[in-house]
Amino acid sequence: MKILTPLQFILLFLFLVSFISCKENSNPTNPYGLEIVSNFQTYKKSVIQNPDNELIDMGTYIPEITLDIRYATSDNFTGKPIYDSPRAFVRKPVAEALKQIQDELKLKNKGLKIFDAYRPYSATLKFYEIYPDTNFVAAPWHGSRHNRGCAVDVSLIDLITGLEIPMPTPFDDFTFKAASDYSSLPDSIIRNRKLLADIMTSYGFSIYPTEWWHYDFKGWEQFKLMGIPFEELDEK
């Protein structure tokens, strides 16, 4: 049996103390020690300081918009509901941009369908636990732009028929076909994807490379990560 030197013993002792301390102080709701707004009063104060911080309910702000919030159902890649209610919230500047997009699309008898918007941080932890591939789910040690209320997962619908316009893949298809530049597609599908991309980018959004449906709003980095459930956002 190898006998430790005094220095090795001290280093081992310090390591064990540090390890035990980290285990005792770990927070399962925020295991990476991120700055996350999880208190409703803290959020309300931030809105008073800067009205752009407000998370707007898209169902009331744009009543005619189509919501298909998959994570409030079992029809998603996890196979189970993640949200308690089918709601879509975004920060105020994002909501204003989406309203302009919806108004412009209506002139073409088209509209937006939203699959997901603001996502509480707890959902990001669940997603990575189920599917630990950061090409398609956010790295929980960074947090998601959805957690900041500055990302939307969207498609287009035909306002006359009410049907979704054909796109390269279904929502949350974790294959190479979902990439925003995948080209082995019928011309009509490429045109549909381009129509969505052109109008979204013209109002300040950028497309996520591996997901044709995911768009981030400019200035997303100015907004903090959020962990407040949808239901608490209804409080006054």
Residue 49 forms part of a structural domain: yes
Domain boundaries, position 95: 35-234
Q: Per the domain annotation, does 99 fall within a domain?
A: yes
Domain count, the chain: 1
Q: Mind listing the pLDDT tens digit for each residue in 20-44?
A: 444 434 688 899 999 999 999 999 9
Phi-psi region of 162 (alpha: psi -120 to 50; beta: other; left: phi over 0): left
- Global pTM? 0.87
In a domain, 30, yes or no: no
CATH number, domain at 135? Answer: 3.30.1380.10
Do 146 and 138 form a contact (C-beta atoms < 8 A)?
yes
pLDDT level of residue 135 (50, 70, 90 thresholds): confident
Q: Exposed, middle or buried, 129 (CB in 10 Å: 0-12/13-18/19+)?
A: exposed
- pLDDT at position 5 over 80: no
Q: What is the mean pLDDT of residues 196-212?
A: 97
* pLDDT of residue 179 exceeding 80: yes
Residues 6+ apart with CB under 8 A from 159: 106, 109, 110, 111
Which pLDDT score, from 0 to 100, does residue 27 have?
82
Percentage of the chain beyond pLDDT 90 is 86
Residue 6 located in a structural domain = no
Residue 17 lies in a domain: no
The answer to whether residue 112 sits within a structural domain is yes
13 pLDDT above the threshold of 80: no
Cβ-based burial of 172 (10 A; exposed 0-12, middle 13-18, buried ≥19): buried
As a residue count, the chain comes to 236
| Domain contains 227 | yes
Averaged pLDDT score across all residues of the chain: 91
Q: What is the rounded average pLDDT of the residues 69-81?
A: 95
Q: What is the pLDDT of residue 59?
A: 95
The whole-angstrom separation of Cα 68 and Cα 157 is 11
21 part of a folded domain: no
Q: For the chain, what is the radius of gyration of the CA atoms?
A: 21
Measured between alpha carbons, how far is 31 from 26 in angstroms, rounded to an integer? 6
